[in-house]
Structure 1
Protein backbone atom coordinates (compact mmCIF):
# COMPACT_ATOMS: atom_id res chain seq x y z
CA UNK A 1 0.00 0.00 0.00
CA UNK A 2 2.91 2.36 0.72
CA UNK A 3 4.24 1.85 -2.80
CA UNK A 4 0.88 2.83 -4.27
CA UNK A 5 0.73 5.94 -2.10
CA UNK A 6 4.30 6.87 -3.07
CA UNK A 7 3.49 6.33 -6.75
CA UNK A 8 0.35 8.46 -6.47
CA UNK A 9 2.38 11.23 -4.81
CA UNK A 10 4.96 11.09 -7.59
CA UNK A 11 2.25 11.19 -10.24
CA UNK A 12 0.62 14.18 -8.56
CA UNK A 13 3.99 15.94 -8.44
CA UNK A 14 4.70 15.16 -12.10
CA UNK A 15 1.25 16.36 -13.15
CA UNK A 16 1.90 19.66 -11.37
CA UNK A 17 5.32 20.02 -13.01
CA UNK A 18 3.84 19.33 -16.45
CA UNK A 19 1.12 21.94 -15.86
CA UNK A 20 3.71 24.49 -14.74
CA UNK A 21 5.89 23.79 -17.78
CA UNK A 22 2.87 24.05 -20.05
CA UNK A 23 2.14 27.50 -18.61
CA UNK A 24 5.75 28.55 -19.18
CA UNK A 25 5.73 27.32 -22.77
CA UNK A 26 2.44 29.09 -23.47
CA UNK A 27 3.78 32.35 -22.01
CA UNK A 28 6.99 32.04 -24.02
CA UNK A 29 4.96 31.43 -27.17
CA UNK A 30 3.04 34.68 -26.59
CA UNK A 31 6.29 36.55 -25.92
CA UNK A 32 7.89 35.15 -29.07
CA UNK A 33 4.85 36.18 -31.14
CA UNK A 34 5.07 39.70 -29.74
CA UNK A 35 8.82 39.91 -30.39
CA UNK A 36 8.39 38.63 -33.95
CA UNK A 37 5.79 41.33 -34.62
CA UNK A 38 8.08 44.00 -33.19
CA UNK A 39 11.06 42.82 -35.24
CA UNK A 40 8.87 42.80 -38.35
CA UNK A 41 7.79 46.37 -37.69
CA UNK A 42 11.38 47.46 -37.12
CA UNK A 43 12.46 45.81 -40.36
CA UNK A 44 9.66 47.58 -42.23
CA UNK A 45 10.65 50.93 -40.72
CA UNK A 46 14.28 50.41 -41.63
CA UNK A 47 13.38 49.40 -45.18
CA UNK A 48 11.27 52.56 -45.52
CA UNK A 49 14.08 54.67 -44.10
CA UNK A 50 16.59 53.20 -46.54
CA UNK A 51 14.15 53.69 -49.43
CA UNK A 52 13.73 57.37 -48.54
CA UNK A 53 17.15 58.29 -49.78
CA UNK A 54 19.87 57.31 -47.39
CA UNK A 55 22.50 56.14 -49.84
CA UNK A 56 24.42 54.20 -47.20
CA UNK A 57 22.44 51.69 -45.14
CA UNK A 58 22.36 52.65 -41.49
CA UNK A 59 24.20 49.48 -40.49
CA UNK A 60 27.12 50.44 -42.78
CA UNK A 61 27.42 54.07 -41.68
CA UNK A 62 30.33 55.11 -39.49
CA UNK A 63 29.41 56.26 -35.99
CA UNK A 64 29.43 60.04 -35.49
CA UNK A 65 32.60 59.98 -33.37
CA UNK A 66 34.74 58.56 -36.26
Structure 2
Protein backbone atom coordinates (compact mmCIF):
# COMPACT_ATOMS: atom_id res chain seq x y z
CA UNK A 1 0.00 0.00 0.00
CA UNK A 2 1.44 3.32 -0.99
CA UNK A 3 1.86 6.26 1.34
CA UNK A 4 -0.81 8.13 -0.59
CA UNK A 5 -3.36 5.35 -0.07
CA UNK A 6 -2.51 5.14 3.63
CA UNK A 7 -3.00 8.89 3.95
CA UNK A 8 -6.35 8.69 2.17
CA UNK A 9 -7.46 5.86 4.50
CA UNK A 10 -6.44 7.89 7.55
CA UNK A 11 -8.32 10.94 6.27
CA UNK A 12 -11.44 8.84 5.68
CA UNK A 13 -11.25 7.37 9.18
CA UNK A 14 -10.72 10.83 10.66
CA UNK A 15 -13.74 12.20 8.80
CA UNK A 16 -15.86 9.28 10.03
CA UNK A 17 -14.72 9.86 13.61
CA UNK A 18 -15.47 13.59 13.38
CA UNK A 19 -18.95 12.74 12.14
CA UNK A 20 -19.43 10.29 15.00
CA UNK A 21 -18.29 12.85 17.58
CA UNK A 22 -20.69 15.44 16.14
CA UNK A 23 -23.55 12.93 16.27
CA UNK A 24 -22.72 11.99 19.87
CA UNK A 25 -22.52 15.66 20.87
CA UNK A 26 -25.95 16.36 19.35
CA UNK A 27 -27.38 13.31 21.13
CA UNK A 28 -25.94 14.39 24.47
CA UNK A 29 -27.25 17.93 23.98
CA UNK A 30 -30.76 16.67 23.17
CA UNK A 31 -30.72 14.31 26.15
CA UNK A 32 -29.63 17.16 28.42
CA UNK A 33 -32.48 19.31 27.13
CA UNK A 34 -34.96 16.48 27.70
CA UNK A 35 -33.64 15.90 31.22
CA UNK A 36 -34.12 19.61 31.96
CA UNK A 37 -37.70 19.42 30.67
CA UNK A 38 -38.45 16.35 32.76
CA UNK A 39 -36.93 17.90 35.89
CA UNK A 40 -39.10 20.98 35.40
CA UNK A 41 -42.16 18.77 34.95
CA UNK A 42 -41.38 16.82 38.13
CA UNK A 43 -40.91 20.07 40.06
CA UNK A 44 -44.31 21.35 38.83
CA UNK A 45 -45.99 18.08 39.77
CA UNK A 46 -44.41 18.13 43.22
CA UNK A 47 -45.55 21.72 43.72
CA UNK A 48 -49.05 20.78 42.57
CA UNK A 49 -49.14 17.88 45.04
CA UNK A 50 -47.99 20.18 47.87
CA UNK A 51 -50.69 22.68 46.94
CA UNK A 52 -53.36 19.98 46.97
CA UNK A 53 -52.10 18.61 50.28
CA UNK A 54 -52.04 22.06 51.88
CA UNK A 55 -55.57 22.74 50.63
CA UNK A 56 -56.78 19.49 52.15
CA UNK A 57 -57.47 17.94 48.77
CA UNK A 58 -54.94 15.16 48.98
CA UNK A 59 -55.77 11.51 48.52
CA UNK A 60 -58.30 10.28 51.04
CA UNK A 61 -57.92 6.87 52.61
CA UNK A 62 -61.53 5.84 52.47
CA UNK A 63 -63.23 2.92 50.79
CA UNK A 64 -64.65 3.49 47.35
CA UNK A 65 -68.46 3.44 47.24
CA UNK A 66 -68.63 0.00 45.59
CA UNK A 67 -67.37 -1.75 48.77
Q: Same fold (TM over 0.5)?
A: yes
Q: Which of residues 41, 46, 56 in structure 1 aligns to 2:44?
A: 41
Q: Which runs of 4+ in 1 moved over 2 A?
A: 60-66
CA distance in structure 1 between the partners assigned to 2:30 and 2:47 by the alignment: 26
Instruction: Name the residue aligned to 1:6.
Output: 9
TM-score w.r.t. the length of structure 2 is 0.78
Pairwise CA distance, 1:53: 1.4
How many residue pairs get aligned? The number is 63
Pairwise CA distance, 1:48: 0.9
**RMSD after superposition:** 2.3
Matching of residue 26 in structure 1 with residue 25 in structure 2: no
CA distance in structure 2 between the partners assigned to 1:8 and 1:63 by the alignment: 71
Distance 1:7 1:62, change over 3 A: farther
TM-score w.r.t. the length of structure 1 is 0.79
Gaps of 5+ in 1: none
